[in-house]
Amino acid sequence: MSFFVRFWGIRGSIPTPGHLTKKYGGNTSCVEIRSDDSLFICDGGTGLRELGADLLTRGKKQITGHFFYSHTHWDHIQGFPFFTPAYIPSNTFHVYGTAEGDRRTYELLSGQMRSDYFPVDFGELRSNIVASHLDGGHREIDGVAVSFFEQHHPGRSWAYSFVRDGFKIVYATDNEIDLTFPRPEAVLKEPEAPRPIPEAFRQFCHGADLLIADGQYFDDEYEKKVGWGHPRASTIIDLALQSEAKQVAIFHHDPMHGDSDVDRKIALCKERAARVNPQLLVFGAREGLELRIG
């Protein structure tokens, strides 16, 4: 068994098309995870449109997919009305809330398709769209154990882990870990020192074969963006190191960052990782990249 993980949208906050973002891409959050025939979709930002188009070329008569939304900020749901497979009656999509009766995600997805915002009504999505949930934080779907963890983000957000046959993928975006530090000023005084990643989150990410995590800001940028819901990229390196992840994809790139800025951010992240564990593989999530895990 292998997981296949493909990045369809990696950008934070707002789509950023154009030549400056050609390499990493301009679509907002959407990551596809496949395990055998099962399809898991993390977030439905504008990258979801292209995933939808690609799914239709794969020759399956019936598509079943499981949607896990980190949260319902625009950049994570905007692609859904343009997800063509949702308009085809033979397909089924499960949209997971984090507790029984939690239909927040489902309601917000349908809400963005009200006529004030969008010409097509949610009811015109002919596929079978099922509001579902994770039982007590966990659920086994087609042999994949899925769990969630509540993060730090305005209006709440969730990280998800996917485990099968000992292989683990964590998707953790829109998470201002830096806000959990008991002494934020210590980071400014000693930026090189290891950061106090909360134990529970370290455990959640522990041993991930692939950790996909929001690393939107450079250190100096973060000072002006405290409370906006995103961490320093350097903090994600400490998360990866302390949770003993094998590789980390820095995700949710800032819309103000062109390819050269992201390159620079990743280079700094690599330096930080190499000082502690040269084995940790660090890279910038970029569209069109597909990894095989396991």
Q: Which does 36 bind (CB under 5 to 8 A by kind): other proteins, Zn ion, none?
A: none
Of 247, 101, 111, nearest to 167 (Cα)? Answer: 247
- Least CB distance to other proteins at residue 157 (A): 26
Distances (CA, A) of 1 to 6, 7, 144, 163, 294: 16, 20, 11, 11, 7
Residues 6+ apart with CB under 8 A from 156: 71, 150
Q: Which does 247 bind (CB under 5 to 8 A by kind): other proteins, Zn ion, none?
A: other proteins
Of 93, 41, 91, nearest to 61 (Cα)? Answer: 91
Is residue 28 a contact partner of residue 15, using CB atoms and an 8 Å limit? yes
Q: Which does 22 bind (CB under 5 to 8 A by kind): other proteins, Zn ion, none?
A: other proteins
2 is written with which tokens?
Answer: 């292998």
Q: Which does 73 bind (CB under 5 to 8 A by kind): Zn ion, other proteins, none?
A: Zn ion
| Contact track, other proteins, 12-31, x by CB under 8 A | ----------xx--------
Q: Which residue is nearest to Zn ion (CB)?
A: 73
Which residues within the stretch 79-138 sit at the binding site for other proteins (CB under 8 A)? Answer: none
Query: Does residue 214 belong to the site contacting other proteins (CB under 8 A)?
Result: no
- Least CB distance to other proteins at residue 270 (A): 9
18 is written with which tokens?
Answer: 């154009």
- Least CB distance to other proteins at residue 5 (A): 8
Query: Does residue 176 belong to the site contacting Zn ion (CB under 5 A)?
Result: no
Of 265, 270, 268, 40, nearest to 171 (Cα)? Answer: 40
Q: Which does 156 bind (CB under 5 to 8 A by kind): Zn ion, other proteins, none?
A: none
Query: Does residue 183 belong to the site contacting other proteins (CB under 8 A)?
Result: no
What is the CB neighbour count within 10 angstroms for residue 28? 29
Is residue 70 a contact partner of residue 154, using CB atoms and an 8 Å limit? no
Which residues within the stretch 61-90 sit at the binding site for Zn ion (CB under 5 A)? Answer: 73, 75
Distances (CA, A) of 97 to 6, 121, 158: 23, 22, 10
Alpha-carbon gap, residue 198 to 158, rounded angstroms = 15
Number of residues that bind Zn ion (CB under 5 A): 4
| Contact track, other proteins, 216-255, x by CB under 8 A | -------------------------------x--------
Report the interface residues with Zn ion, using CB under 5 A.
Answer: 12, 73, 75, 174
Report the interface residues with other proteins, using CB under 8 A.
Answer: 4, 6, 22-23, 247, 281, 283, 287-292
